[in-house]
């Protein structure tokens, strides 16, 4: 029995291709990828090596050599970058970089804190696709806010053909747990944080990967944790999570404890909320990624996003409106005085509802009139009460938006008796106003400042204002010109004849109509607008009213200023400069500009930090700021408002907050085109077509091109595979496949037909051949890590070396080599044996490989190169 030498290539039916580590006689230790296996001698087949081929002096058939080389390179490129995944969207450098950063080691534990609109769903799909295809992920759980669950399911299916089961309460109530039958799931963390649902989830099998959207909801507090945080912590404590990836645009909510508690979920070995924050920030680059719109680029280094232009549009109240608002302000002032005479929950309830009235009044007279009329009608039956739900601290901006939409009803139910006469005065004044100056100015803005038929997204705080805007738009531009999105998908709109009609429309249908051009206008509230993408057609937005929380402004603009937007986004803010709200907004904008300037002067990279600073403050601060500002300074002394504002906001964006933001952003991992752009593969799905055609010819099939794409019959030897169809028509390598087209037409890694082609070509036992159109000899080698157990997910990288002195500096990256080979054709002179010159050239390339390997950047601790095959130029006759 002849012992097998170390590094002898072998093939095993179950483990695939490997190389011998040590021959023990009856058994052999073989390395397959990153795994060492001890197998019986009779189970392995010795495979011809490149050295064997050189010794024999025989050439292999050119077509299988070329196809195998292409297959090996395709595997290498996709394993690192996921660039050949079957996504409908064009992939961007920062998304590919995030994919590689997250998947480079297993388990993957990262917080991805990219700006809103940079494509987190695409990043998630890119991360998941190679891990699912390679079998690394069997059990997948995605947690998201309730409203975004259907969107996650739909987008991962349409973009990447990742099919998730959607968890619902109804499906998880029987004797058999939902989790016993579902292995790849998207679920609402609002639902799962409830005790019964949580217990069932905790009893389920462990998850290979858990992804969390809007992860800032999971921050803990020093004295008490939230239900959402406890859910994830318990999953962690019970070893139910192997890999964890969190997505959030606002990772720090103002409390170091909460931020570090969130980071501890990701890397408990690095972060502890009870330890000094300064000692832990330098560790962020090992666990936190943040990319911002100012830095992301296309493959050519061109910035993806244009600056957003913002313009204020002023208007003045009519005398009737001014009289109403003066009376309303006096009512609020007296209400605050009465509330301050109370204590505890009675005072809190009163103050919250007075804030609600102020917000409604700032939105429109229609909104406040609706609330006052409901309240007046119910006052005789109302009792002095408050609900725990209304006073409960909301955890998310979505929940706050839903609460705001419900405020008119809350006002009617919970304000106390004793002001009926004053209510009658206010209602009488409101009923006397048949048109509002704000709405008239909005129509004038559209007529005078926008191109004809320009699509327009409008945001309002409340449904009454939303209905008012839609009625005005239809009166001016025709019935059916405007759609709406709100929390309950219903809206009572006054028709042209004065009748009130309730319209029902799903948010998805409204967005589809708008994106398809069936409606020109889309009017949305905060509660309905989250998670809707409108950037393909629209680049203009109007804030009909100004939310008191500036974070909502950023979220509104984020619906348009996001990946896929081709134009500069234009934003208009409607405001009456005479109101206290407008003056406070102006002071707030000026302060944010000063904060931005202070940070920009001390940071190396451009970064819009407004969202982070606002997110650290919390929504209640802004509610109190605007509410107090309305009554803090008498009308006769409005010049003192700036002094009051400076005193009231002294801690907003203070030194501690700025230092935290500066330190956090200075330590995170981020995409830098200047440093990383050269390594990003400049290649996409069309680069797979030459390989696909070569394999089909190899398998005796002819690929035909028609108007719809490529057509081919499945090779006879593959027809036993249940995942293949007998024939395929309309196949494309184009990501711009229309949304209504079947994704199985898109060929990429993960498509059954292409996967079979890759396996077929990569498994061919060929080592050396001549090909046409190759300028010089090329050696392909696999670079592997001699150290096992590192947690790496990429176990081999294929590179190419060419003869010295050519235009390609050795070694070539895998994607560069694939471009070279895609221009080649199979040669015809294989009958001629290898010449001495060709053997010498190949040996020179092997020597060059050993010399240049130390200069190759890899994720491996001890890289080692294993020659795979050599391609030679076809000889001239």
Q: Average the pLDDT over 275-304 and give the result.
A: 87
Domain 303-316+435-576 has CATH 3.20.20.70: no
Query: If residue 430 lies in a helix (H) or strand (E), which one and from where to where?
Result: helix 420-431
Predicted confidence band of residue 431 (pLDDT cuts 50, 70, 90): very high
Confidence at residue 399, expressed as pLDDT on a 0 to 100 scale: 60
User: Of 769, 810, 830, 828, which Cα lies nearest the Cα of 68?
Assistant: 769
The pLDDT of residue 272 is 94
The answer on pLDDT for 417 being more than 60 is no
How confident is residue 125, by pLDDT bands cut at 50, 70 and 90?
very high
Instruction: Yes or no: say if 207 and 141 are a contact pair by the CB < 8 Å rule.
Output: yes
Give the N- to C-terminal CA distance of the chain in Å, as an integer. Answer: 46
Does position 367 have pLDDT exceeding 70, yes or no? Answer: yes
- The two three-digit tokens of residue 751, written as one number: 């498509």
Beta strands of 163-306 (E only): which ranges? 165-166, 184-188, 207-212, 241-247, 288-289
- For 98-115, the pLDDT digits (tens) are 998 999 889 999 999 888
Taking every pair of Cα atoms in the chain, the longest distance, rounded to a whole number of angstroms, is 108
**Is 50 exceeded by the pLDDT of residue 384?**
no
What's the CA gap between 612 and 596, in Å, rounded?
A: 11
- Cα–Cα separations (whole angstroms), residue 640 to 579, 593, 621, 636, 645: 14, 21, 20, 10, 9
As a whole number, mean pLDDT of residues 556-566 equals: 87
Alpha-carbon gap, residue 494 to 449, rounded angstroms: 27
Burial class (CB in 10 A: 0-12, 13-18, 19+), 619: buried
More confident residue, 642 or 666: 642
Find out whether 792 and 785 touch, Cβ atoms under 8 Å. Answer: yes
Domains 85-289 and 303-316+435-576 share a fold: yes
Backbone angles phi, psi at 213, to 5 degrees: -95, 150
Average the pLDDT over 369-386 and give the result.
Answer: 69
The residue among 640 and 505 whose pLDDT is bigger is: 505
DSSP for 596-619 reads HHHHHTT-SS----HHHHHHHH-H
Q: What is the mean pLDDT of the chain?
A: 86
Q: Which residues contact 685 (CB under 8 A, 6 or more apart)?
A: 84, 733, 734, 735, 746, 747, 748
Residue spans per domain, the chain: 1-47, 49-74+764-873, 85-289, 303-316+435-576, 319-431, 579-616+627-649, 679-762
Alpha carbon 376 to its chain centroid, in Å, reads 46
More confident of the two residues 493 and 656: 493
**Contact (Cβ atoms closer than 8 angstroms) between residue 464 and residue 408:** yes
**Which phi and psi (to 5°) does residue 787 adopt?**
-90, 125
Q: Examine the pLDDT at 410 and tell me if it is beyond 60.
A: no
In the prediction, which pLDDT does 387 show? Answer: 41
User: Rounded CA gap, 758 and 761, in Å?
Assistant: 5
The answer to whether 89 and 156 are in contact (CB under 8 A) is no
Between residues 669 and 723, the one the model is more confident about: 723
Average pLDDT in the 325-350 region?
Answer: 81
Helix, strand, or coil (residue 568): coil
Q: Rounded distance, CA 852 to CA 874, Å? A: 26
Residue 10: beta bridge partners? 18, 46
pLDDT higher for 473 or 391? 473
- The band of 357, judged by pLDDT with boundaries at 50, 70 and 90, is confident
Predicted pLDDT at 584: 87
φ, ψ at 760 (rounded to 5°)? -60, -50
The answer to whether 538 and 473 are in contact (CB under 8 A) is no
How much is the average pLDDT of 579-591?
A: 86
The CATH class of the 85-289 domain is alpha beta
Paired with 866 in beta bridges are: 782
CA–CA gap between residue 465 and residue 155 (Å, rounded): 32
Q: How confident is the model at residue 601 (pLDDT cuts 50, 70, 90)?
A: low
φ, ψ of residue 485 to 5 degrees: the values are -135, 125
361, 325 in Cβ contact below 8 A? yes
pTM: 0.81
Q: What six digits make up the tokens of 825?
A: 């054709």
Q: Of 604 and 32, which is predicted with more confidence?
A: 32
| Neighbour tally for 591: CB within 10 Å | 16
Q: Tokens 């050295």 map to which residue?
A: 51
- Give the least confident one: 455-464, 475-484, 842-851: 842-851
Bond into 811 cis (ω within 30): yes
Radius of gyration over every alpha carbon of the chain, rounded to an integer in angstroms: 32
Helix (H) or strand (E) holding 329: helix 319-340
Beta bridge partners of 783: 797, 865
Single out the residue of 225, 505, 230, 530 nearest to residue 401, CA to CA.
Answer: 530
pLDDT of 808: 47
Q: Copy the structure tokens of residue 56.
A: 């024999």
Residue 385 has pLDDT above 50, yes or no: no
Calpha distance 578→638 (Å, rounded)? 10
**What is residue 251's predicted lDDT score, i.e. its pLDDT?**
81
The set of long-range contacts for 262-270, using a CB threshold of 8 Å and a minimum separation of 24, is 262/111, 262/215, 262/216, 262/218, 262/219, 262/220, 263/111, 263/287, 263/288, 265/218, 265/232, 265/233, 265/236, 266/109, 266/110, 266/111, 267/109, 268/236
Ramachandran angles phi, psi of 105, nearest 5°: -130, 150
Instruction: Please give the structure tokens belonging to residue 590.
Output: 């000026």
Q: How would CATH label the architecture of 1-47?
A: Roll (2.30)
pLDDT grade, residue 286 (50/70/90)? very high
pLDDT at 388 over 60: no
Strand partners, 288: 111
How do residues 262-279 score in pLDDT, each as one tens digit? 999 999 999 999 998 888
Mean pLDDT of all residues in 528-533: 70
Choice among 31-40, 366-375, 600-609, 812-821 with the minimum mean pLDDT: 600-609
* Cβ count within 10 A of residue 272: 15
Other Cβ atoms closer than 10 A to 427: 17
- Tokens 């092997």 label which residue? 846
Q: With contact defined as beta carbons under 8 Å apart, do 592 and 653 qualify?
A: yes
pLDDT at 394 > cutoff 60 = no
pLDDT of residue 491: 93
């Amino acid at each position: 029995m002849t012992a097998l030498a170390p590094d002898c290539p072998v093939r095993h039916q179950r483990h695939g291709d490997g190389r011998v580590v040590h021959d023990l006689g009856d058994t052999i230790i073989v390395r397959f990828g990153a795994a060492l296996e001890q197998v019986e001698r009779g189970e392995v087949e010795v495979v011809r090596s490149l050295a064997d081929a050189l010794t024999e002096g025989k050439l292999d058939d050119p077509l299988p050599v070329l196809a195998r080389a292409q297959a090996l390179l395709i595997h290498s490129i996709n394993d690192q970058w996921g660039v050949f995944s079957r996504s409908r969207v064009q992939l961007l450098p920062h998304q590919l970089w995030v994919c590689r950063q997250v998947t480079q080691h297993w388990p993957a534990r990262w917080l991805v804190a990219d700006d809103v609109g940079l494509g987190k769903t695409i990043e998630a799909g890119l991360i998941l696709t190679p891990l699912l295809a390679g079998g690394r992920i069997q059990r997948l759980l995605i947690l998201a806010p309730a409203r975004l669950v259907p969107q996650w399911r739909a987008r991962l299916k349409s973009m990447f053909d990742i099919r998730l089961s959607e968890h619902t309460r109804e499906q998880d109530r029987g004797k058999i747990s939902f989790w016993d039958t579902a292995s790849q799931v998207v679920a609402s963390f609002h639902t799962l944080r409830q005790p019964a649902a949580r217990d069932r989830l905790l009893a389920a099998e462990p998850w290979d990967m858990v992804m969390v959207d809007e992860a800032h909801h999971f921050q803990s507090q020093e004295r008490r944790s939230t239900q959402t945080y406890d859910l994830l912590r318990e999953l962690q404590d019970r070893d139910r999570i192997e890999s964890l990836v969190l997505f959030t645009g606002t990772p720090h909510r103002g409390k170091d404890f909460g931020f570090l508690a969130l980071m501890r979920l990701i890397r408990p070995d690095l972060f502890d909320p009870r330890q000094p924050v300064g000692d832990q920030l330098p560790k962020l680059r090992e666990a936190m990624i943040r990319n911002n719109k100012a830095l992301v680029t296309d493959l050519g280094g061109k910035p993806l996003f244009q600056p957003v232009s913002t313009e204020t549009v002023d208007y003045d109240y009519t005398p009737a409106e001014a009289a109403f608002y003066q009376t309303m302000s006096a009512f609020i002032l007296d209400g605050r005085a009465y509330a301050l005479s109370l204590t505890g929950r009675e005072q809190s309830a009163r103050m919250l509802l007075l804030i609600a009235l102020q917000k409604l009044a700032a939105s429109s007279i229609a909104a406040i009139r609706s609330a006052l009329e409901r309240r007046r009608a119910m006052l005789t039956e109302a009792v002095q009460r408050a609900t725990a739900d209304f006073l409960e601290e909301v955890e998310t901006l979505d929940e706050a938006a839903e609460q705001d939409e419900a405020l008119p009803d809350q006002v009617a139910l919970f304000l106390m008796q004793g002001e009926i006469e004053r209510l009658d005065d206010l209602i009488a004044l409101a009923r006397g106003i048949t048109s509002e100056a704000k709405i008239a100015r909005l129509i004038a803005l559209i007529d005078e400042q926008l191109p004809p038929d320009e699509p327009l997204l409008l945001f309002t705080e409340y449904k009454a204002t939303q209905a008012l805007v839609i009625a005005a738009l239809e009166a001016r531009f025709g019935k059916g010109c405007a759609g709406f999105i709100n929390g309950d998908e219903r809206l009572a709109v006054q028709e042209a004849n004065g009748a009130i009609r309730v319209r029902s429309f799903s948010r998805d249908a409204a967005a589809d109509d708008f994106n398809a051009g069936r409606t020109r206008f889309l009017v949305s509230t905060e509660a309905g607008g989250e998670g809707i993408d409108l950037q393909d057609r629209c680049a203009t937005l109007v804030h009909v009213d100004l939310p008191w929380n500036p974070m909502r402004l950023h979220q509104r603009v984020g619906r348009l200023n996001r990946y896929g937007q081709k134009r500069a986004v234009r934003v208009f803010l409607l405001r009456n400069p005479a109101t206290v709200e407008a003056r406070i907004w102006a002071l707030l904008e000026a302060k944010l500009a000063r904060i931005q300037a202070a940070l920009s002067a001390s940071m190396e990279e451009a970064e819009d930090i407004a969202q982070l600073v606002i997110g650290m403050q919390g929504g209640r601060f802004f509610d109190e700021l605007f509410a107090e500002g309305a009554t803090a300074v008498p009308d006769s002394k409005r010049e003192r408002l700036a002094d009051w504002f400076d005193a009231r906001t002294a801690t907003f964006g203070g030194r501690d907050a700025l230092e935290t933001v500066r330190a956090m952003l200075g330590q995170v991992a981020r995409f830098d085109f200047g440093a990383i752009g050269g390594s990003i593969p400049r290649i996409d799905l069309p680069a797979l077509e030459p390989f696909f055609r070569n394999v089909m010819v190899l398998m005796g099939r002819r690929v035909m091109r028609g108007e719809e794409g490529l057509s081919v019959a499945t090779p006879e030897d593959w027809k036993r595979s249940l995942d293949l169809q007998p024939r395929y028509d309309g196949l494309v390598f184009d990501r711009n496949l229309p949304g209504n087209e079947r994704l199985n037409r898109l060929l990429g890694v993960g498509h059954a037909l292409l996967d079979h082609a890759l396996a077929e070509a990569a498994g061919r036992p060929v080592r050396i051949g001549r090909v046409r159109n190759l300028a010089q000899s090329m050696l392909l080698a696999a670079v592997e890590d001699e150290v096992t157990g590192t947690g790496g997910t990429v176990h081999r990288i294929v590179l190419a070396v060419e003869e010295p002195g050519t235009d390609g500096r050795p070694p070539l990256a895998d994607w560069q080599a694939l471009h070279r080979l895609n221009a080649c054709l199979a040669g015809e002179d294989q009958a001629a044996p290898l010449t001495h010159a060709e053997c010498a050239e190949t040996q020179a390339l092997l020597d060059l490989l050993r010399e240049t390997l130390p200069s190759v950047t890899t994720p491996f601790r001890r890289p080692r190169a294993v020659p795979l095959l050599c391609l030679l130029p076809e000889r001239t006759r």
